[in-house]
Amino acid sequence: MKPTLVFLIVSLCLMAIFPQTIEAKPLVAARNAVLLNQSNGEVLYAKSANDPQLIASITKIMTAILAIESGKMEETVTISHQASYTEGSSIYLQEGEKIKLKDLVYGLMLRSGNDAATAIAEFVGGSVEGFAFLMNEKAAWLGMTDSHFDNPHGLDSDTHYSTAYDMATLTRHAMNNDEFVAITGAKSYHSEQRTYAWGNKNKLLTSYYPYTIGGKTGYTKAAGRTLVSIAEKEGVMLIAVTLNDPNDWQDHIRLFDWGFKQYDHASTVANEKKVVKQNQKENSLISTVITFFNKLIGVI
C-alpha cells in the first residue's frame, strides 16, 4: 500500500475518533474590538483594532495606574476649585476637602469620577497638563503608538484618542500590578470620607458575567459606549476592549465565551495528541515484544 494512502486512512481514522469542531468568530456590534491573552499578549480576535478613536472614560485606566505607580496612594490630597467643578460624572468632591489619593483612585475606577481624575492629575502631575505629559510618556514606553492623551478623564478632544489594541496593551500592563487588580476588581468601596459606599458601575463584574475580574466603562455622546473588561477562567485571563459599541455587555460576554473555548479546544487537542502518542509507544513496544518472541520461537 502506498505511504500517502496509508497516511490518508490513518488521518481519517483519527478524525473519526477525535472529531474537531471549528467555531466561527463571534460577531460584535462595536466599531473597534480586540480580545487579548493577558499572559502572552496573543491577539485572539480583532476588528479594526488599530484604528484611533475617541475612548471616553476608559482613559481612567491610564490615570489609575500612574497614580498607583507614583507611590503616593496613602498621601492626602486637597481638592482644588478646578477639580471640584470638573464636568461630567462625579464623586461630588468639595473644594478644600482632604482625601487620600487611594480613595480618589477607587472613586475614579468604580464611579468614573471626573472630579477625582482632575484631583489625581493635579496631585501626581502638578497640573492637568503636566499629568497629560506623564500619560503620553507612559503610552510611549508601553508601545501605544496610536494613542495620545490630553486629559485624565476622557472628555472628548480631537487630540485625545487611542485604539482597542493600545488600550488592551495598557490594561495588560496594569493587571500586572496587584493594587490595580484589587481596585478594578472591587464591587464596592467605602471611603472614610463618605457615609456611603461607592458601587462599581461595571455590570459585567457585579452581575452579568461570573468570570469577570475587572475593567472600566466609558461613554460620551461622540465616543459612544466604550468598555474594557478582564475575565479569568481555569487559569486563562483574557482582556476585551470595545469602542463605540451599543451592545457592549453582550459583546464582551460573547468574546469571552468564544475565547475561553479556544483554549478549551487547544487543551483537548493536546490531550488527544498525548493519548495517541502514548498508544503509539505502547503499540511499538508490543510489536517489539512479539517480534522478539517470534525470533525466540524460531531459534527454539
List per-block mean pLDDT (blocks of 10 residues) for the chain, which spans 300 residues.
49 48 82 97 98 98 98 98 98 98 98 98 98 98 98 97 98 98 98 96 98 98 98 97 98 98 67 48 54 54
Cell numbers placing 30: 462595536
Per-residue model confidence (pLDDT) at position 276: 43
pLDDT at 274: 47
The grid coordinates listed for 262 are 479556544
- Of the candidates 47, 60, 102, 138, the residue annotated as catalytic is 60
| Residues contributing to the annotated binding site | 216
The per-residue pLDDT for 115 is 98
pLDDT of residue 102: 98
Q: Measure the CA–CA gap between 110 and 100, rounded to whole angstroms.
A: 16
pLDDT of residue 108: 98
Catalytic residue among 47, 80, 89, 112: 112
In terms of DSSP H, where are the helices of 92-230? 101-111, 114-125, 128-142, 164-174, 178-184, 203
Q: Which of 57, 60, 83 is nearest to 180 (CA)?
A: 60
The answer to whether 60 is a known catalytic residue is yes
Whole-Å CA distances, 282 to 120, 124, 268, 275: 65, 65, 21, 10
Taking CA atoms, 226 is separated from 59, 80, 114, 221, in Å, by 10, 29, 16, 11
Q: Report yes or no: 242 and 261 within 8 Å, Cβ to Cβ.
A: no
Q: Which of 57, 89, 147, 229 is catalytic?
A: 57
> What is the structure's pLDDT at 10?
45
pLDDT at 6: 44
Q: Is 295 a catalytic residue?
A: no
User: 46 exposed, middle or buried (CB, 10 Å; 0-12, 13-18, 19+)?
Assistant: middle
Considering the domain 28-291 in this protein, what is its CATH number?
Answer: 3.40.710.10
Going from the C-alpha of 75 to that of each of 12, 94, 98, 132, the distances in angstroms are 67, 18, 10, 21
Residue 153's CB: how many other CB atoms inside 10 A?
Answer: 27
Cα dist from 5 to 10, 19, 20, 279, 286, whole Å: 9, 20, 22, 21, 24
Helix or strand run (H / E) with residue 214? strand 212-220
**Edge-to-edge strand order for the sheet containing 212-220?**
43-47, 32-37, 236-243, 224-233, 212-220
Cell of 107: 472613586
What are the respective helix, strand and coil percentages of the chain, to the nearest 5?
50, 15, 35
Known binding residues for substrate are 216
Q: What is the 8-class DSSP label of residue 59?
A: G
Length of the chain: 300
| Cβ–Cβ < 8 Å for 31, 48 | yes
57 is catalytic: yes
pLDDT in the model for residue 270: 45
Give the per-residue pLDDT at 264: 84
Q: Domain map of the chain by residue range?
A: 28-291
In our burial notation (b when 16+ CB lie closer than 10 A, e otherwise), range 110-148 reads bbbbbbbbbbbbbbbbeebeebbebbbebbeebebebbb
